[in-house]
Amino acid sequence: MAETADKGVALVIGAGDATGGAIARRFAREGYFACVTRRSADKLLPLVAQIEALGGRARGFASDARKEEEVAALVQQIEQEIGPIEVLVFNIGANAPCSILEETARKYFKIWEMACFGGFLAGREVARRMVARGRGTILYTGATASLRGSAHFAAFAGAKHALRALAQSMARELGPRNIHVAHVVVDGAIDTDFIRTSFPEMYARKERDGILDPEHIADNYWHLHRQPRDAWTFELDLRPWMEKW
């Protein structure tokens, strides 16, 4: 094996420029080999370079989380070439608001594939290895839509509700087998370029700690992974102090 992971692998599916990237950096900082995925591998080059510049180890993979054969091949390749996947973070969003009067069947299905079906595929493939080893952590990123369906978010809410139900079922089945499954509800705007450029009034709350810092979100994912098993959290809500809920 050209690359090996002494402490194991943290696989982050949906390692974007904000939350996913921050989670990958956090686990790499703790000595885990960060395996990060997006549909385009080129978009992962800055994140991988950043992790390596900080003394960590990382590798990017182009993978479509909706394709069963690609997910199975990804997990197999990582396990064979790098090391055991100790942590899986499923962080695909697929937030695309639309009126129910305008929504199309194609887009509704695609959002479900990205935000829920991909979570099933990745969770199943990784859980099979974790159960064989008798340990592991699987973390799913949820959203406000995981708990309530707002107007114009029918597709996203349906997918996120389903992802939460998947996580609940997996936690009940796999917890007794020493696999910690948790669901993180990120309820609020995150400090991203999208929020800064598209919602400047909302972004102005940053000065008052009114939007979520990706690095602080990542700290909570690390905390979940490190929890002693006599006090595991299933669901964690993260929101700024001034967010309505």
Which domains are present in the chain? 9-238 (3.40.50.720)
pLDDT at 1: 40
Distance from C-alpha of 60 to C-alpha of 68, rounded to nearest angstrom: 19
- The pLDDT of residue 7 is 82
Report residue 6's pLDDT band, with 50, 70 and 90 as the boundaries: confident
Does the structure show a pLDDT above 90 at 239? yes
**pLDDT at residue 5 in the model:** 64
pLDDT of 93? 83
Average confidence (pLDDT) over 132-140? 98
The model's pLDDT over 7-60, given as tens digits with 9 standing for 90+, comes to 899 999 999 889 999 999 999 999 999 999 998 889 999 999 999 999 999 999
Q: In percent, how much of the chain has pLDDT > 90?
A: 87
Dist CA 77 CA 63 (whole Å): 12
DSSP the chain: --S--SS-EEEEES--TTHHHHHHHHHHHTT-EEEEEES-GGGGHHHHHHHHHTT-EEEEEE--TT-HHHHHHHHHHHHHHT--EEEEEE-------B-TTT--HHHHHHHHIIIIIHHHHHHHHHHHHHHHHT-EEEEEEEEGGGT---TTBHHHHHHHHHHHHHHHHHHHHHGGGTEEEEEEEE-S-BS-HHHHHH-HHHHGGGGGT-SB-HHHHHHHHHHHHH--GGG--SEEEE--TT---
pLDDT at 127 over 60: yes
Model confidence over 204-226: pLDDT tens digits? 999 999 999 999 999 999 999 99
Confidence at 3, pLDDT banded by 50, 70, 90: low
The label of the residue with tokens 């990060």 reads 36
Q: What is the pLDDT of residues 151-167, one digit of tens each?
A: 999 999 999 999 999 99
- Cβ proximity of 236 and 219 under 8 Å: no
Task: Find the distance separating the first CA and the last CA of the chain, reported in whole Å.
Answer: 49
